Amino acid sequence: MTTAPAIGQPTDRVDGRHKVTGGAHYSADIHLDNLAYAVLVGARVPSGRITHIDTTEAMDARGVFAILTHENLPRIAAQPPLIPSLAGMPAPGQTFFPLQDEVVYYTGQPVALVVADTLERAQHAAALVRVGYEETPSVTTLDQGRDQAYEPEAIFAGFIPGRNQRGDVEAGLAQADVRIDAAYTYAANNHNPIEPSATTAAWDGDQLTLYDATQGVAATQLTVAALLGLTPSKVRVLSHFVGGSFGCKAMIWAHPALAALASRMTGCPVRLTLTREQMFTSVGHREEQEQRITLGATTQGRLTALRHHKLSPTSHFDDWAEPSLGVAGQIYACPNYEGVYRLIRANTMTPTFMRAPGEASGMFALECAMDDLARQLGIDPIELRLRNYTDTDPNTGNPWSSTGLKECYQRGAERFGWQRRNPEPRSHRDGHWLIGYGMATAGYPVYGPNNPQRARARLYADGTAVVQAATPDFGTGVATVMTQVAADALGLPVERCRFEGGDTALPTIASAVGSSGSGMISAAVHTAATNLRDQLVAQAVGDAQSPLHGADPSTVVVRDGRMTLRDQPSIGESYGDLLHRNFLPDVEAAGAWSPSQSVNNYGMMTFGAQFAEVAVDPGLGLARVRRMVGAFAPGRVLNTKTARSQLTGGMLWGLGQALLEANYMDARRGRWVASSLGDYLVPVNADAPEVDIELIEVEDKIVNPLGVKGVGEVGQVGAAAAIANAIHHATGRRIRKMPITIEDLL
């Protein structure tokens, strides 16, 4: 029997066997009788209007039930606003719903939805829908729109101001002994989870059930309810398995509501699966961008000023930019700061969250600039960062709830062998390969929800427990770690606990976004399970037949499902004995958690340090990453295996950003050049170096009951900068773009 705490163990995934044996049913695997298949037809032009749609031939094709276009689709009830909190409110990905009129804003915008009895027949009929367009001039790239850039009042639909300042940046630059000023360019990125987005919709009378690939079932429920004018209680959303997301299943795009509408129109359950190609124009993207950083510093390396500007295209309907200026403006002590977002209206959909949304791109610029500053001042890059270390959030002056950053630098440097680095560029070689070492700081905010997170725990008389909360597990391991959290709170072995999630019928949890999932869900599960344990102990001490009768509940401990006196372990009884004696088949408790008000008195950030060794072949322009080392201080680690997996994935994503990931707009046609996994490059095993991770546990009593700060995204932040800095060290060349490609290195 397990007696050690379950939390912190490298427990295998509870859903692992299902996932590798075909037992996992994803949203497009749900079998329903009379299921019909829907296929989207996307606009072929980036801007203009539909002059005519001819569906005659398509309607005559075999098996076709219906074709939805703006000419026959009922208008939506209401377009919910863009709310990025995703907590208790609808979360549309953009404030534009297609198939409402003839206007085209972006290539790929849905202009028809074909529903047929098989997928193949729907695909065939979709090819027969004839759409005529009157094309108007478009802007689809940053360069095309540069002259019309505007400064938005706010980005993220009002949640982040367009301009953030502290001190006087001009005065800070005037005081500086040295300045660094440089621009950085970034290609657009697209999410490519293994599972493309999919929704299976079914009506039973006026009750709608959606099986949807989502990061938050409540977000899908509330968004579809608002769009269709339904009360949320009439919409149930299930999401038992989700094959990755990285942010593209955080906001709720048009396809779940379209599936529901198609199902209502045809009277059949309808499945709508986006194709891989449609994933590039249907679920947001990380926007193309330019950033400019100006640093001022003393000869001692102390920052006196930081100016950080960003320019990026957004859609015609929303002021969206990934918040690249956030962490980069907070991670170092610098009294004078100015961050400004500028946007361009473009013929694309609204960009969206994509893993480490903004933090990764912003820290790429800042950490490359810091590396240049270190070189210019002749200060070791780690030493430079230590000289600008801050114990407080520079935006507010509030202390960090916990840090661990200095330990991350120290332990990371030791593991990496930073001491061996000769600071002179081009000083390390391996045959014809130029070898470089680079490092960067990592940071990712700790977000808390702004509404209560709920869970429920039930113990059966046989001594097994189930804990429930609405959250899906979209590949992070949340179901596994919540089983561990419940086991410890209940005093049960992990094998006797089970987690159920992914269903709006269960207690409400906000969407798992911004690396907040493990912190907020563990808080809810811990609270519910602790309430249940306390309830059982109270029942025992109040039960005249219990050996614990009359004991002070605070002196009772539970291990292996047995309640005993802490100081006299021989006195006690099992949960099962208590329940059997009292004819109770089960006992249940609910729990809710909200962050305390005191979080407002702290800065909250997960910190880390990234190190990379690269080898560059100057003749071929090849850059290979040979080693990556990351040291992270994510508060409490719930499961060392799933935490390492998250961080490894993040670091390798950083490698992808540094060297591979890119999409470019063909401005003539307003289309993404890459629209498949064949031409959108992500790192594969052959690209992946050894990734070495150190987890530094720091106690944090502020963020949530278990002190969990999250590991979902911090692994990516700084990883690309460490690689770019290593390339500089290897070659002496500073390449200020993402990704750095062969032609940059020749």
* From candidates 162, 491, 514, 683, binder to ligand MOS by CB under 6 A: 514
Please identify, using beta-carbon distances, which residue of 93 and 670 lies nearer to ligand MOS: 93
Nearer to ligand MOS, 354 or 708 (CB): 354
Of 46 and 357, nearer to ligand MOS (C-beta) is: 357
Identify the active-site residue in 57, 71, 713, 743: 713
Using rule CB under 6 A, residue 520 touches ligand MOS: no
CB of 297 to ligand MOS, least distance (A): 32
Dump the DSSP string for 376-440. HHT--HHHHHHHT--SB-TTT-PBBS---HHHHHHHHHHHHTGGG--SSTT-EEETTEEEEEEEE
- By residue count, the chain amounts to 746
> Any contact of residue 355 with ligand MOS (CB under 6 A)?
yes
Between 627 and 709, whose beta carbon lies closer to ligand MOS? 709
Give the nearest distance from C-beta 93 to ligand MOS in angstroms. 12
Distance in Å, CB of 520 to ligand MOS, minimum: 13
Q: Count of H helices and E strands in the chain?
A: 17, 32
Q: What are the residues whose beta carbons fall under 8 Å from the beta carbon of 577, sequence distance 6 or more?
A: none
Map the footprint of ligand MOS across residues 635-674, applying CB under 6 A.
Answer: none
The answer to whether 353 contacts ligand MOS (rule: CB under 6 A) is yes
What one-character DSSP code corresponds to residue 283? S
The answer to whether the Cα torsion of 685, 688, 689, 692 is positive or negative is negative
The least distance separating ligand MOS from the CB of residue 514, rounded to whole angstroms, comes to 4
Q: Which residue stretch of 173-181, 224-232, 274-282, 352-360 sits at the interface with ligand MOS (rule: CB under 6 A)?
A: 352-360
Which is closer to ligand MOS, CB of 319 or CB of 322? 322
Structure tokens at 694: 């150190």
- Residue 402, exposed/middle/buried by CB under 10 A (0-12, 13-18, 19+)? buried
Which range binds ligand MOS by CB under 6 A, 299-307, 354-362, 699-707, 736-744? 354-362
Half-sphere exposure of 56 (CA within 13 A, CB side): 2
- Residues 6 or more apart whose Cβ sits within 8 Å of residue 384: 301, 370, 373, 374, 377
Residue 199 contacts residue 36 (beta carbons within 8 Å)? no
Mark residues 62-101: x for contact with ligand MOS by CB under 6 A, - for none: ----------------------------------------
Give me the residue whose beta carbon is nearest to ligand MOS: 247
Question: Is the CB of residue 67 less than 8 Å from the CB of residue 54?
Answer: no
DSSP three-state, residue 522? helix
CA pair distance 391, 254, nearest whole angstrom = 44
* Minimum CB distance to ligand MOS smaller for 359 or for 393: 359
- Binder to ligand MOS among 357, 449, 502, 715 (CB under 6 A)? 357
Interaction between residue 339 and ligand MOS (CB under 6 A): no
Q: Could you say whether residue 360 binds ligand MOS (CB under 6 A)?
A: no
Active site residue 71: no
Stretch touching ligand MOS by CB under 6 A, among 6-14, 232-240, 350-358, 527-535: 350-358
Tell me the closest approach of the beta carbon of residue 519 to ligand MOS, in angstroms.
13
Judged by CB under 6 A, does residue 478 bind ligand MOS?
no
CB atoms within 10 A of CB 595: 21
Backbone angles phi, psi at 230, to 5 degrees: -110, 155
CA distance linking residue 560 with residue 488, whole number of Å: 10
The residue range among 245-253, 618-626, 634-642, 656-664 that interacts with ligand MOS, by the rule CB under 6 A, is 245-253
Q: Are strands 303-314 and 337-345 parallel, antiparallel or unpaired?
A: parallel
- Determine how many CB atoms are found less than 10 A away from the CB of residue 323: 25
Stretch that binds ligand MOS, among 108-116, 242-250, 361-369, 591-599 (CB under 6 A): 242-250
Does 513 bind ligand MOS (CB under 6 A)? Our answer is: yes
Give the rounded distance of the alpha carbon of 505 from its chain centre. Answer: 24
Measured from the CB atom, is 283 or 377 closer to ligand MOS? Answer: 283
Residue identified by tokens 């124009």 is 281
Q: How far is the CB of 351 from ligand MOS (least distance, A)?
A: 12
Structure tokens at 502: 């992914």
Binding mask 188-227 for ligand MOS (x = CB under 6 A): ---------------------------x------------
Instruction: Report which of 320, 312, 350 is spatially closest to residue 144, judged by C-alpha positions.
Output: 312
Tell me whether residue 504 or residue 511 sits nearer to ligand MOS (CB atom): 511
Tokens read off for 302: 């102390």
Q: How far is the CB of 78 from ligand MOS (least distance, A)?
A: 25
CB of 357 to ligand MOS, least distance (A): 5
Contact yes or no for 720/657 (Cβ under 8 A): yes
Q: Which residues of 326-336 are buried (b: 16+ CB within 10 A; e: fewer)?
A: bbbbbbbebbb
Question: CB under 6 A: which stretch of 152-160, 353-361, 418-426, 533-541 binds ligand MOS?
Answer: 353-361
- Comparing CB distances to ligand MOS, the nearer of 248 and 274 is 248
**Residue count at the site for ligand MOS (CB under 6 A)?**
10
Q: In what order do the strands lie in the sheet with 130-135?
A: 103-104, 48-54, 130-135
Closer of 65 and 353 to ligand MOS (Cβ): 353
Does residue 632 bind ligand MOS (CB under 6 A)?
A: no
Q: What is the smallest separation between the CB atom of 716 and ligand MOS, expressed in angstroms?
A: 10
Beta carbon nearer to ligand MOS, 46 or 326: 326
Residues 246-265: x/- map of binding to ligand MOS (CB under 6 A)?
Answer: xx--x---------------
- Of 6, 128, 354, 563, which one interacts with ligand MOS (CB under 6 A)? 354
Q: Please list, residue by residue across 610-636, b when 16 or more beta carbons sit within 10 angstroms of its beta carbon and e when fewer do.
A: bbbbbbbeeeeeebebebbbbbbbbbb
φ and ψ of 85, to 5 deg:
-70, -25
Least distance (Å) between residue 102 CB and ligand MOS: 33
Contact call for residues 213 and 198 (beta carbons, < 8 A): yes
Chain positions contacting ligand MOS, by CB under 6 A: 215, 246-247, 250, 353-355, 357, 513-514
Catalytic residues: 713
